[in-house]
Copies of this chain bind each other. A is one copy, B any other.
Amino acid sequence: MSGTRRDSTPPVIAFIGIGLMGRPMARHLLAAGYPVRAQNRTAAKAEALVADGAVFAATPAAAAEGTDIVIVMVSDTPSVEAALFGPDGVTRSLADGALVIDMGTTAVMATREFARRIAERGGRYVDAPVSGGQVGAEEKTLSIMVGGAEADVAEAMPLFQAMGRRVTHVGPVGAGQVAKTANQMVVGLTIGAVAEALTLAEAAGVSSAKVREALMGGFADSRILELHGKRMVERAFTPGGKVTTQAKDMHQAADLAQALGLDLPALALNRDLYDRLIAQGDGALDHSALIRLFVRQD
């Protein structure tokens, strides 16, 4: 069996993980004409997607059986491992030459290991984590950061274009997760920068709203200043991206830095700040709530 499809019938897509992100992504694939076999740990979550035309599969193994493309969109690295290699995981039924695409945020070293184990079973692997959140998933405006072999990425490209807007092939397997890690680092540290700057302004008796406005359009401008800076000014911390998720990402980045023998002090500090934020009970808030660490709670 060839790894690259030659016929023009759209391939059946096994889609593992139909949560807040996976559901709209799978829906875009259905809309683009792909048959989708959907699997989720909580079966009830697949109902709306079945109404949209997906076929429900009880286990990852059942979803992957006889398909050439398996997309995994689950919450963390252990969940990816379970979906792929667990007792009823994808590898129980993986077709020879099938392409496994992990679109979640998964640790870099684990990704390289998973790709090796999938290759041992005759499969191929692409990592393609996304940025843009639930809104991006729904509005098809996700950024997709892709790691994998040239031919595999080319094969997956029509799927990515059906689910997102900006697709970048960063490098070989794992490179997509490296880019995602870098993305989360820059997000966390820039939130920290804006939080400390606006705190200083307020403590100096100046309107943080006016300071934010003065900074926009200049060298200090960023998506974070625009979106998260606004939330800080208004103290409006409904997520968005949760503190607990940001903390998890910063730990993942710091662990990778350590594994590579790098001393990255601002990353280590930011990770500790997010841990402190969780410790003070703010874990469920939007990650822009970091500013609550620096403000006297009076």
Contacts and interface: CB of A to CB of B under 8 A. Distances in A.
A17 interface: no
A203 B170 CA distance: 15
A58 interface: no
A253 B200 contact: yes
A22 interface: no
A190 B193 contact: yes
A218 to B, nearest CB: 4
A264 interface: yes
A185 B200 contact: yes
Interface in A239-298: 253, 256-257, 260-267, 269-270, 273, 294
Give the dominant DSSP class at A's interface.
helix
Contacts of A218: 131-132, 143, 166, 183, 223
Copies of this chain, count:
2
A206 B168 CA distance: 13
Given A190-B193, A201-B178, A170 B132 contact: no
A220 B223 contact: yes
A213 B273 CA distance: 28
B217 A166 contact: yes
Interface in A199-246: 199-201, 203-207, 210-211, 213-215, 217-225, 227
Nearest to A198: B182
Nearest to A136: B218
A174 B201 CA distance: 11
A186 interface: yes
A272 to B, nearest CB: 9
Contacts of A190: 189-190, 193, 220, 222
A221 to B, nearest CB: 5
Contact of A222 (B179, B205, B222): B222
21 contacts: A132-B219, A145-B214, A170-B206, A170-B210, A170-B214, A175-B206, A178-B211, A179-B210, A179-B214, A182-B200, A186-B197, A193-B266, A196-B264, A199-B262, A200-B257, A200-B264, A203-B260, A218-B223, A220-B223, A262-B294, A266-B269
User: What 5 A-B pairs have minimum CB-CB distances, sorted nearest first?
Assistant: A189-B193, A222-B222, A168-B214, A186-B220, A182-B197
